[in-house]
Amino acid sequence: MRMLTDKRIGVLMGGRSAEREVSLRSGKAIYNALRDLGYDAVAIDAGSDLCDALKRKKVEIAFIALHGGHGENGAVQGMLEVLGILYTGSGVLASALAMDKEASKKIFLYHKIPVSPFIVLSKDHRAKSIDSSKVGFPLPWVVKPATEGSSVGVSIVKNKKQIGSAVKNAFSFSDRAIIEKYIEGKEVHIGILNDRVLGGVEVRPSLEFYSYEAKYEKGLTEYILPPEISRRVYERAKETALSAHRALGCRGATRVDLMIDRKGKPYVLEVNTIPGMTETSLLPKVARLAGLDFSALIEEMLRGALDES
């Protein structure tokens, strides 16, 4: 990796998605780590002039730390390919599929990867017309936007009176909403790096679920490493996560979010193609348990970009 010290690395962060602030925190941590390691790194807040900024700063490799929006849905990846700039993480198609929960769930079903029962609502649906008896599975539900991350716009619906506000909230972030059956059990996140499983972490939020606040505010979530599940269930969870990563065609670093029901069956919630890299983020915690400190994790993510070139 020393050969990369003469390459200009642009850390892309910020952007205009609902996850801008978290992206800035991730990007700053990555930028500082690269500088400490001796790399020629520049920080770039990814605005509408991103293309010009990349050219102006003579970026040769892009380290993408954008969460949500165009940075995670394949758009920025496509631009980088047109410009001939190497970049970390998944490619255009895998990024787009992972960000679209409807598309990714259908691919998981095709590959026989378990997901919670779900339906998709388009924006012309009226919340009042959603009959819980005709959805196909009983309350409680999880209602979420089809195209956001970090639990943005997610609600837990326990009774009919909550349906309207939950659907309206989801539609404020996307033109489609997902209603899925709520799985009671343990939430486990599996870290994958360059097509190998690093390990997992169990999250126990003090709030109703692992919400945006629970993810990024210190003290609101307990992290159990490794998860307190049987070895058999843990191995099944890791196999399921790697299958989901591969089914979408992901590369580099991903985090696969799972719910483990009370019988030990894992259900894939989503695949995150650009996991958070803040002080409370899960992938760095999992990597540390696997023997990779933050700096080593950053270098491995860079190596993954080179291996795919």
In one-letter notation, the amino acid at residue 161 is K
Establish whether 110 is a catalytic residue. Answer: no
* Beta bridge mates, 145: 177
Establish whether 257 is a catalytic residue. Answer: yes
Establish whether 255 is a catalytic residue. Answer: yes
Of 20, 25, 251, 255, the active-site residue reads 255
* Backbone dihedral angles phi then psi of residue 258, each to the nearest 5 degrees: -130, 150
Establish whether 150 is a catalytic residue. Answer: yes
Of 39, 216, 234, 267, the active-site residue reads 216
Of 87, 276, 281, 304, the active-site residue reads 276
Establish whether 19 is a catalytic residue. Answer: yes
Q: How far apart are the first and last CA of the chain?
A: 15
d(C-alpha 28, C-alpha 175), whole Å: 31
Of 104, 270, 281, 304, the active-site residue reads 270
Of 26, 90, 272, 281, the active-site residue reads 272
Establish whether 100 is a catalytic residue. Answer: no
Of 100, 148, 180, 257, the active-site residue reads 257
Of 15, 19, 148, 151, the active-site residue reads 19
Tokens of 131: 């009959």
Name the CA radius of gyration of the chain, rounded: 19
Provide long-range contacts, Cβ within 8 A and 24+ apart, for 3-7: 4/39, 4/61, 4/302, 4/306, 5/38, 5/39, 5/40, 6/40, 7/39, 7/40, 7/60, 7/61
Establish whether 270 is a catalytic residue. Answer: yes
- In contact, 94 and 271? CB cutoff 8 Å: no
Q: Which residue has the tokens 């109703």?
A: 208
Q: Where are the alpha helices (DSSP H) in the chain?
A: 20-36, 50-56, 69-72, 75-83, 92-99, 101-110, 163-171, 212-216, 231-247, 282-289, 294-307
d(C-alpha 7, C-alpha 41), whole Å: 8
CA 82: distance to chain centroid?
24
Q: Which amino acids are annotated catalytic?
A: 19, 150, 216, 255, 257, 270, 272, 276
